Amino acid sequence: MSERRPYLAANWKMQKTVEETEDFLDRFLGEIGELAHADIVICPPFTALAAAVERCRRSPVRVAAQNMHEASSGAYTGEISAPMLTSIGVEAVILGHSERRSLFAETDEALARKLVTAFEAGLQPILCVGESESEREDGVTEDVLRRQLEADFESVSAKDLPEMVIAYEPVWAIGTGKTASPEQAEGAISFIRSVVAERDSRAAAQVRILYGGSVKPGNAEELLGREGIDGALVGGASVEPADFLAICEAA
């Protein structure tokens, strides 16, 4: 791993009530003592964000949302805005997760606007990109990644680029138990860094790029030991404190 500080994010998706969030954090925060080497971010559902921020207050752990709307307020029933998140102490937001892209029709055009909104509000975006299984089989992985990144970055300034986090999440590896091989993850991440470098080489050296897709305690060390892989976005294996802790320790 490079001089970039490791970044580990727990994406709980639609799991955990307030009580379950507090129980996880009481156990997790009790164990993380030595983990000052990494940025650790917990992404609970909206209803548990405030409780998570409260529980993490005197800890190094930060709290992120799993999505947000691009506008700061308005007639958008069911949506949550960036100022609403920052007002309760949320510091980051996952944008463009493949489940949002595929199940909720999230477009790259909307993501481009959401990235700008997140930076304006002072939220660190964790932007997810990745190819589907058929796209990998067709040999178009790099075309897909380039298309997503170029569209999503359209209005992001070179000054903001190094502050964001990018997660390479091959869609076929998410929640399937099929992990990308360390070579596949390293190759895609190095390609993503080269696309960032076309915009700004300093940003490319600084931006943290994570791998996500069936990361578990058993494969974390192998993946996180690879050149250019700066951390992990963890779904299934992040809901148990001991499993997520083991992944954080592997970074």
What is the helix (H) or strand (E) element at residue 93, kind and residue range?
A: strand 92-95
Is residue 125 close enough to count as binding ligand PGA by CB under 6 A? Answer: no
Query: Is 97 a catalytic site residue?
Result: yes
3-state secondary structure of 72: coil
69, 97, 99, 186: which is the annotated catalytic residue? 97
Asked if 169 is an active-site residue, the reply is yes
The catalytic residue among 106, 131, 135, 169 is 169
Nearest approach in angstroms of CB 232 to ligand PGA is 8
Q: How far apart are CA 117 and CA 36, in angstroms?
A: 30
CA 145 vs CA 77, 90, 124, 195: distances in Å: 31, 28, 21, 9
Return the bridge partners of 50, or none.
Answer: none
Give yes or no for residue 215 binding ligand PGA (CB under 6 A).
yes
- By CB under 6 A, tell whether 235 contacts ligand PGA: yes
- Residue 46, φ and ψ in degrees, nearest 5: -50, -45
Q: Which residue has the tokens 């390609």?
A: 191
Q: Which ranges constitute the DSSP H helices of 34-80?
A: 49-56
User: Given the complex with ligand PGA, which of 203 and 248 has the nearer CB atom?
Assistant: 248
* φ, ψ of residue 9 in degrees (nearest 5): -120, 135
Residue 6 touches ligand PGA, criterion: CB under 6 A: no
**Does residue 10 bind ligand PGA (CB under 6 A)?**
no
- Residue number, nearest CB to ligand PGA: 235
β 165-168/62-65 pair status: unpaired
Q: Which stretch binds ligand PGA (CB under 6 A): 114-122, 153-161, 195-203, 230-238?
A: 230-238
Span interacting with ligand PGA, options 26-34, 77-85, 184-192, 234-242, rule CB under 6 A: 234-242
- 201 and 179 Cβ atoms separated by less than 8 Å: no
> Of the candidates 170, 213, 228, 231, which one interacts with ligand PGA according to CB under 6 A?
213
The residue among 94 and 149 lying less far from ligand PGA, judged by its C-beta, is: 94
The SS3 call for residue 165 is: strand
- Taking contact as CB under 6 A, which single stretch among the options 32-40, 108-116, 156-164, 211-219 is the one that binds ligand PGA? 211-219
Cα–Cα dist 212/9, whole Å: 9
Rule CB under 6 A: is residue 233 a binding residue for ligand PGA?
yes
In angstroms, give the least distance from the CB of 129 to ligand PGA: 12
| Nearest CB to ligand PGA, comparing residues 69 and 97 | 97
Please give the structure tokens belonging to residue 73.
């307020």
Interface ranges with ligand PGA (CB under 6 A): 11, 169, 174-175, 212-215, 233-237
